[in-house]
Amino acid sequence: MGADRAFDYDASKFLVVSLDLPLIGSVIEASPERPYLCVAVEIDVAALGELMLDRPEAPAPRPGTPPAIGVSTIEPGLLDAVARLLRLLDSPADARVLAPLAEREILYRLLTGEQAEMMRHIAGADTRLSRISRAIAWLKDHYAGPCSVEALAAEAGMSASTFHEHFKATTAMSPLQYRTQLRLQEARRLMVADSLDAASAGFRVGYDSPSQFSRDYRRTFGAPPARDVARLRDSGLLAMAA
């Protein structure tokens, strides 16, 4: 999360993401004999809220905004619930009845585990996390155009200073750094998937200066645009970049 922060996420861990973040992932262990497999479960906020109501002894979210991403070692109860959900893929008739129960147990395990604080913030209808999420949704639709912290703060219903503080605490980036990440990742996709040259891709995502685009791109991806795209093509990582 952010250009200078990395998470080690292996088979013994689970990852929770509460906001739509411009993340970059890399699979470092995979082969035809032992392919990389991953299970993703979308959080049902309504169901999570019901579980919160069923647990009146659970504390309310603490003041402040937690980070928007967390990695923890998976516990046996959570692993068992996920395994039962996966086994239902072979029994569609049973899945219609039992899958919602397994998904509810997964939410319960998350709500009572190490990432409970983040889960409580996700369940809250008017937490700072939900307000920042609204601003991020707006930013994803308008990243190629001009924007200001003041406009994003208004979208979130916060003062500019409060918004900037909690946005950075949550995403580990300032709002403008987040916008830069969105621009660069889309430009990378355009160069890989649509074969755009660097200057055209930069202009498409909102850069006025090709040199500034190249500097930001190299700082983020570790190589100039043309060299990075060539590396992706040579290494067979096009699907990841696209």
Q: What CATH code is carried by the domain that includes residue 140?
A: 1.10.10
Among 29-33, 71-75, 202-206, name the one with the lowest average pLDDT: 29-33
193 and 111 co-located in one domain: no
Question: Per-residue pLDDT for 57 more than 80?
Answer: no
Q: Is the pLDDT of residue 6 over 60?
A: yes
Confidence band for 239, pLDDT divided at 50, 70 and 90: very low
| Least confident interval from 50-64, 83-97, 184-198 | 50-64
Q: How many domains, the chain?
A: 3
Q: 6 in a domain, yes or no? A: no
Are residues 66 and 129 in contact, defined by beta-carbon separation less than 8 angstroms? yes
Pair 155, 233 in one domain = no
The structure tokens listed for 85 are 């959900």
Q: Which long-range contacts (CB under 8 A, 24 or more apart) does 224-232 make?
A: 224/198, 225/187, 225/188, 225/191, 225/198, 225/201, 226/198, 228/188, 229/188, 229/191, 229/192, 232/192
What is the domain-level CATH number for residue 185?
1.10.10.60
- In the chain, the N- to C-terminal Cα span, in Å, equals 19
52 with 88, same domain?
yes
Q: Which amino acid is at 120?
A: R
DSSP 207-225: -S-HHHHHHHHHHHHSS-H
Buried b (16+ CB within 10 A) or exposed e, 85-107: beebeeeeeeeeeebeebbbbbb
123-141 residue pLDDT tens: 775 577 778 888 998 999 9
> Is 4 inside a domain boundary?
no
Q: Can you tell me which residue has the tokens 């109501």?
A: 53
More confident residue, 118 or 65: 118
Q: What is the pLDDT of residue 217?
A: 96
Same domain, residue pair 136 and 112: no
pLDDT of residue 96: 92
Say how far apart CA 168 and CA 67 lie, in whole Å: 9
20 and 109 belong to one structural domain:
yes
Which tens digits make up the pLDDT trace of 174-216? 999 999 999 999 999 999 989 999 999 999 999 999 999 999 9
Cα distances (angstroms) measured from residue 220 to each of 49, 73, 177, 180, 240: 37, 29, 11, 10, 16
- Give the pTM: 0.66
Domain shared by 78 and 95, yes or no: yes
The band of 10, judged by pLDDT with boundaries at 50, 70 and 90, is confident
pLDDT of residue 122: 80
For residue 44, what are the domain limits?
13-123
DSSP, residue by residue, 19-33: S---------S--SS
Question: How far is the CA of 19 from the CAs of 24, 54, 163, 200, in angstroms?
Answer: 14, 25, 15, 30
* pLDDT band of 163, cuts 50, 70, 90: very high
Highest average pLDDT, of 37-46, 63-72, 172-181, comes from 172-181
* Distance of alpha carbon 48 from alpha carbon 80, whole angstroms: 19
Q: Are 204 and 196 in contact (CB under 8 A)?
A: yes
As a whole-number percent, the residues of the chain with pLDDT over 90 amount to 49
Residue 20 — pLDDT band, cuts 50, 70, 90?
Answer: confident
Residues 140, 190 within the same domain: no
Give CA–CA dist 18/23, Å, rounded: 13
92, 182: one domain: no
> Do 116 and 132 fall within a single domain?
no
